[in-house]
Each structure stands twice: as structure tokens, then as C-alpha cells.
Chains A and B, each alone.
Chain A
């Protein structure tokens, strides 16, 4: 046992020296993962939609349309809304939020689309949205026949269009409520007195129908709804997956090509000792890297780390499984070129199908079964389960077991292939 352990350490030390002496690779290992984490995090993590280039045309020129135009541009035009509300503090805050997001969402462009009532070409104008207040809009409100505001949206960006539409609806809603309160405030005293003669029940009902009814949604697991929280585990996993597989895939083939493998195989070293000894230093290096990249996620992107023990176990098993996969590739390939080719063909579906960037639920069932084969799939799911859903052991047990089985199967397979490859 101690004998075996010493043998493993002998190999591990040698492998470590190989990496240490190969300065170019060492530099890549140390610099690229944190670099990519930062770049990818900024590239994919910003979920808030802002600076949508938008054209605006007010064809009405009534006081109402002027007011609404100001609102769209983020000006506080509310006169009666806060005072009229049952909970002025909350209403004030909601309004501030609305104005803030209006300011952030739209970048206003001059109108270049010609006739605001005709067809509008967004691409030609370089905009993603066009908003038109039609002629007679203010008058129509007074006439009791309200007209819709015209909005033309670019549907190719599946995130932006619904967001802009929802925001417009929200702004219009608040505008309407404000108008309503203004109306009530300016009612003649007689009407108020008349109202007081109504029975209390009817009064209450009337009041209730005047205040806006709302859905109070509380979003669990991801209070800030920041995409970056979702995407960083995927990114860290993806980077480590690529790195571990490509790094270790060339180790055995390099020895095969250099002839040192024969020399190794005439020593009393067991195949299993060779495989474990080769995996060990890469495990330490990749553990160091995964800690580093997660630390960047934490300090740079503000991702909170929950249940570190579970996360550690997930990372460890994921790395073991990935390294096992790499060793297996290494044992199968005859040359380093082959090993690289194998790695690429394996990593391509892993990148696309493991749910690193998009939820797996969107994939068809048949493909999802396939993606269960990849260590990255289990890593992403388990990591998010723990970090976003605060899942406990029982919820991630399946993924952990899958990773553990993967690690054992690939390493045993590699040891076995190392044996047969020479016969």
C-alpha cells in the first residue's frame, strides 16, 4: 500500500516537473482561465437590457401626449399618483425604479423613418424599436375612446422586444393611474359628497376598483435575477473541462511517441499506478484553477458562494471525471495529434449540449439523454442546484454519483487500455 503510494508519488512528481518545465503551457494554464472567466462573464453575464436604440415620434401634440413623451424620456411627470396611493413610500419607489429603467433602456435616436403612420423600416434606421403617439391620442382619451400607442419592435432579439414592450405597458399603466387620480382630485365637491352617501360597502368596492391591482411576484433562488449568477458556473466548468481534457490527453501519448512508455511499462509500476500518478498533479493544478476562477466570479462579478462543502465535492468529482476522460483519450490515441483530434470531437458536443449557457430543459428529450454523458452537464446542474437553489445533498446526489462513476470508469478504462495497447 505504502509501496503503491510511493510509486504514485514518483509518477506524480515527474508529471508535475513536466508541466513546470514547459513554461509556455504553464503560462497558458495560469493566465487563460482567469482571463476567459472575466471576458466571458462580461460578454454573457450582462442580462439587463439597456441602450436599445429607439426612435420616437409624437404626432399628437396634446398636453397628454407631451406628458407621456416626457415620461418615456425619464422625467417625473407624476402629480397625483403618490399622494393618492395607499402606500406612498412604495409607490414612490416603484416610480423611481420605472423612471430609472426608462432612462437605462432607451437610447433615443432622431426619427428617420418618414411617415410615422406608414410602414417603418427599423434596420434602415439602425434602431430596434420605434414608438409613435398617434394623432388625436390625447383627444381620444377625453372622448372615452382611447387609442393604442404604436410600437414597432425588432423581434430577432428575443430578449429585447418583450422587455421593451413590457416596459412601455408599465409606463403607460402608471401614466393612466396618475391621470385617474388627477381626475378624482379635480372632481367637484358635490360628486364627493354624493359619493359619501353611498353605503360603506359600495364605497369600499369603488375604492378597490380604482386602485391598481397587482401581482406580487417574489422570485426565488435568484433574487437579483442576474444572468451572471447563472452563467459563471457554466463558464468555469467549460473552461476547466476544456483545459483538463486537452492538458492530460497528451500525457500518455507523448510518452508513447517518445518511447518512454515502453520504459515505464518494463518497470514494476502497475498501470493503475501510472494512471493515478498522472491524474494526481493535474487534479491539483485544476483544483487550484477552479478555485481561482470561482474566486473571480465571487470578487469580480459578485457571485455569492453558498454551501462551500457541497461545492468543493462537486468540483472535485467533476475534475476527476474530466481528467479521467482525458486519460482515456490519451490511452486510446496513438499520437498526440490523434489525442488532440479526439479531444476536439469530444469537447464540441460538450460545449453545445451540456447546459453551460442555456438551461437543458429547452433541449429535446433524446438529446438530453445524450448530454447526461458529459461531466460538464452534471457539474453545471449540481453547482447551480447548490448555489442558486441552495439544494442539499439529496438533490445533487444523482449528479455526484454520475460524476464519481464517470471518474472510476474512465480511469479504470485508461489503465486497462494502457495494458492492452502494448500487446
Chain B
């Protein structure tokens, strides 16, 4: 039995008349890497800020390790680390000074202090930047520093708000490798992102759209709930085809992936049948089609297009 560590119950936040977060209920188990996915403005950051006790829930509640995120916010602060969306270290302090400051702020005991600081620098590959001012670091190292400062007190939960936004693939890789390592050591990770490939790396994923949680499950579950494979066409010239196909009735979205076109439609079978009978695009050459296994981006597209999914109960348990 996996123990829920973070439990949200009807958690909501209203700004004026608009619900930024609309009654989200879910639970995240200990040891998970939970990916919180959604477009910009969907409510990811607001949710994370409420969970960190930085913003008061309008209604509903959330608990981390049994403690209410608002009422007990002073007590739970030592239980989690928070890496905000913006770089929020002190730019005029050196890497080492930043880490030491947060170690002090998190009340790391004196006898562990030095050991913890130097180990954290090592683990984050920050050794060679010890005396560089944080403001002069490159984006990737800034993020590493932020994570180091959020982990210095060995929290049970690490919240990361879009930690890889704006990073190059090499650094994104590094950050994820690091998160795996952190997860291995027993820390539960709650990470928001809008990179769909990163969702694949999570042990569990939640989709949020306009403040509502529209799906939650393991990446495999979610793909299964899509109810089958995705139609992929091979058409030349591909770029022109994207624009043409998007206008075709019945086609909801077209994605270009490695030269092939992924078609998102409510009824791809009938579309295919229709195109077999008569290919309506004179300027485009039909070179074939295939059914491919959906990836998280397809899932995300399907969710945002509002497709009907098979409810979770219909799926056979994954471990059977």
C-alpha cells in the first residue's frame, strides 16, 4: 500500500471572480515524481503556492504529511523545499553564500552544517563555482543552485515550478537526472512543466486545465485511456500538409513529428476511410499511414481538445 503524502481536497483559489484553481482533489504518494502539467495560466503555480503556504486557499484544504498547508504552514516549512519559477536566489551572494544562507534559514543543525553544505555543492556539481556570484551563473547552474538551496534541509517533498523552462536540452537532462537521484533518496517530487516529453519521465502525471484537474494517472494509464493508437500520415510536402489538413472537417489538430503528421480527431477511422476513397488534396502526395502508440503530447492534446476518455475504472489494473 502506497502512503499518500500530499492530499488535496477540493482545493480552490479565486482571484476576484475567476477561479485560478477550481476544487482540485487528488493525492500524491510518497516517493512519487508527480508531474503537474498544464498550459500557461492553467493554475499550476497557484496550486504550488498554496501547497507551500504562500497563498491562502479560498476553500478546500491540502495536507502534507498530515499537516494542513495553511493552518500549520509554519510547522510544515521544514518538510518541503520550493524552487520557484523565477530564479530566486540572491544574485549578489556567491553560490556558497546562498547555500549557507538557506542552510541557516532552514536551521540545519550546527554539527551537520559544514558537511551538508559541501555535500550539496558536490552533488549539484557546483564545486567549481563556489565563489562565483549567483547572478553570474548560466541558466542551468542557477537552477542547480536553486535546487541545492531547496534540498539543503533534506525535505520530504520538493516542489519545483517549471525548473527546466528556458533551459537547453543538455541542462534539462541534467536537471532530470538530478531529480531521479533525489527521488531515489526518498524525496517526493512535485514538479510542474509544460514540456510533454518531461511528463514521460514522471511516475505520475496530473493535467490541469483552466483550474480544473482533468486527468491524473501514470503516463501508461493515461495513454491507455486515450483508447487506442494515433493515426500518423506520411504526406509530402509535410509543412504544407499541416496547414491543409487542419482545415479539413473532422480533423481537430495536426502535429508534425519527425516528418510525419499526427492526426487528432474524434473518429480517425472514418477519416482514414474517407481519404482512402478519395484523397482530397491535389497538391499533397499520399505516401502511406500507420497507427502509432500515443505519447504524452498526444494525450495532452487529446485532453485539451476535450475528447472523451475511458474512465479509469474501465482499465485493467496495470500490474495484472
Contacts and interface: CB of A to CB of B under 8 A. Distances in A.
A190 interface: no
Given A259-B86, A266-B77, A270-B74, A21 B92 contact: yes
Interface stretch (B96-104, B123-131, B227-235): B96-104
Contact of B55 (A9, A270, A422): A422
Interface in B48-76: 49, 52-56, 74
B90 to A, nearest CB: 6
A264 B90 contact: no
Centre residue among A11, A13, A14, A17 by max chain B CB count within 10 A: A14
Contact of B90 (A7, A14, A266, A269): A14
A268 B107 contact: yes
B78 A268 contact: yes
A6 B106 CA distance: 11
Contacts of A259: 84, 86-88
B80 interface: yes
Nearest to B70: A423
Interface residues of A, number: 26
A9 B106 CA distance: 13
A6 B55 CA distance: 27
A268 B82 CA distance: 12
Nearest to A260: B88
Contacts of B87: 259
A14 B101 contact: yes
Chain B interface category by residue count: 20 to 34
B65 to A, nearest CB: 15
B176 to A, nearest CB: 22
B121 interface: no
B89 interface: yes
B97 A268 contact: no
A17 B80 CA distance: 27
Contact of B56 (A10, A17, A263, A423): A423
Interface in B102-125: 102, 104-107
Interface string A225-266: 000000000000000000000000000000000111011111
B107 A262 contact: no
A334 to B, nearest CB: 16
Contacts of B104: 6-7, 9-10
Contacts of B149: 263
A10 B54 contact: no
Nearest to A3: B107
Contacts of A269: 105
Nearest to A4: B107
**9 closest Cβ pairs, A-B complex:** A10-B104, A267-B105, A259-B88, A263-B88, A259-B86, A423-B56, A268-B77, A266-B82, A21-B92
Interface of B: 49, 52-56, 74, 77-78, 80-82, 84, 86-93, 97, 101-102, 104-107, 149
Given A7-B105, A265-B53, A266-B80, 17 more contacts: A3-B107, A10-B104, A14-B90, A14-B97, A14-B101, A17-B93, A17-B97, A18-B92, A21-B92, A259-B84, A262-B49, A262-B54, A262-B88, A266-B82, A267-B106, A268-B77, A268-B107
Interface of A: 3, 6-7, 9-11, 13-14, 17-18, 21-22, 258-260, 262-270, 422-423
13 contacts: A6-B104, A9-B104, A10-B101, A17-B93, A22-B92, A258-B91, A259-B86, A259-B88, A260-B90, A263-B88, A264-B105, A268-B77, A269-B105
